[in-house]
Structure 1
Amino acid sequence: MDINDFDFDLPEELIAQTPLKDRTSSRLLIMNRHDQTMEHKYFSNVIDYLNPGDCLVLNDTRVLPARLYGSKEDTGGKTEVLLLHQQEDDVWEVLVKPAKKVKQGTVITFGDGKLTATCIKVKEHGGRILRFHYQGIFLEVLDELGEMPLPPYIKEQLSDKERYQTVYAKEEGSAAAPTAGLHFTKDLLESIKNKGIEIAFITLHVGLGTFRPVSVDSIEEHDMHAEFYHMSDETASQLNRIKQSGGRIISVGTTSTRTLETIARDNNGKLVAASGWTDIFIYPPYECKAIDGLITNFHLPKSTLIMLVSALAGKSFVLEAYKAAIKQRYRFFSFGDAMLII
């Protein structure tokens, strides 16, 4: 399948630069994939399309202030580092800019020497392995020196770091937010539970696999970068009970979807407690084995995320929905509006 099959024209002014003051006031495009109909609502209306006995699956990963600005110890050259995931104590896989200037043995300093890092390995796709050196607790040093790793299409500064976290974020480890979850408030989640809809949690730490662009013309040749996931016994039992009782599993975000579909794929369609690394790449004509619906934001042209959404709802219907959203002046990408596919 050709990458250009997932292209669309998006006016630049529709790329949301800042989050809305009220998380639930984002717009919501309802896509019924069975009868191919669409409705335009607000995110606070999502509860009206969920039934007692359904279950929302949320990714409880927490975004690290994973972008660091430093300088090379030998030349003073400016260097940007994005933490992707922790391999072991003080050893991280990262992306660096400019990558060609950081070779094995290069030392980078941050915050007047409060934090230093030595490159111990050069990886494919421009990645590096760094070993960090510091005094005290790494996460506290990172919180002082690091910035939220907002995507490059967001040019505005974020005044409140918590607006790039979900209200249920708990497990530290992501290099980007699972943005579909940004629309929920604690009050909305409480109302959803009071209606008889269950909430389940999984963890996928968002890394390079989610946002690395597809650089090949034929999407079948694209290799996904692995990301760490975890699902507990409690969540597996809860989801199996929901399925057996006829309820729907509604995944909140492509990260939750990739976790659930990885586990179902690896266990003959069953959902079991599991931890590991997933490089699953979902695109048409993949048939979802675990989920019955999806809440997601609007994604970049030619991205693996719009391909995943197209596997669930059909490429033609998805591109039709994107055209409708553009016509209705929806806000796009991380701080933008959402869609519910049921």
Structure 2
Amino acid sequence: MKYLSIAAGLFAATSAVADTPVLTIYTYDSFVSDWGPGPAVEKAFEETCGCDLKFVGAGDGAALLARVKLEGARTEADIVLGLDTNLTAAARETGLFADHSVTAEYAFPMGWNDAQFVPFDWGVFAFVKNADLDAPTNFRDLGASDLKIVIQDPRSSTPGLGLLMWVKTAYGDEAPAIWEGLADNIVTVTKGWSESYGMFIEGEADMVLSYTTSPAYHLIAEEDASKDAVKFDEGHYMQIEVAGKLANTDQPELADQFLAFMVSDAFQSIIPTTNWMYPAVTPAEGLPKGFETLVVPDKGLLVASDKVQDIREEALAEWLSALTQ
């Protein structure tokens, strides 16, 4: 009888697991790392949803879209989290994403009006360096210097694509000359952000393409004030990161619940000290101490999402030409 009781208990436990809905979210690798927001977000959402939240790391932001496009309607993802406004038009064209009904009072300077994508954080691209390094404050002077930089590939990385748009937006037809000047400064081009930032930390480059908020990690998490971001005369390109629900999800209500959860205090309060970005909706307690020390650009640059693709193709060709000469 004891063995029958054990078997019955195992059957009940197995049935409970089988009945637990699973929400699968594709995101970028750093989001799901031990030090990223993924673990805390998973714990907080599972406390409210009665579900199993499953994050799947899929490279960097631009690689997410490539994977979903390749998988098409067969994708196991219910949500893709980690695209940005440089990719939303291309994502929309796939026909793979569904509308949402989320509304919020967003913290970034421009409004938000997108039926399919919900913002979860935002940031400003910048070159990060050691604080004692005297660095140029524009792309022309950087190209004329002997400083070594590491950047990310715009074909696989959202920061890499952001840099592409930054140079093109700031310089227009002069962008090819800027890239020609920078070509000798570039130590390497990595597939994603994590690899390049790691190279910078290891001393393999003087500066790395990252965010104005990156020094906050060193200051708050490591009590290290030795890193800062360079304020550029041209202004800085902005990034708004978003998530979208897949149209063929078999968990539409759960996906909607997660998108609404994203703009809640429970999610947004996790972002500043795990993803080291500005939250899309300012948490009730405000930003953590240390964020007030960060560089604030005099000018923010951002291309409307529906204009990005035309600019991107030209800018990518210019970048490739300069770096392959």
TM-score over 0.5 for the alignment?
no
Q: Which has the larger radius of gyration?
A: 2
Superposition TM-score, scaled by structure 2 size? 0.30
Bigger helix fraction: 2
Q: Kindly indicate which of the two structures has a greater share of residues assigned to strand.
A: 1
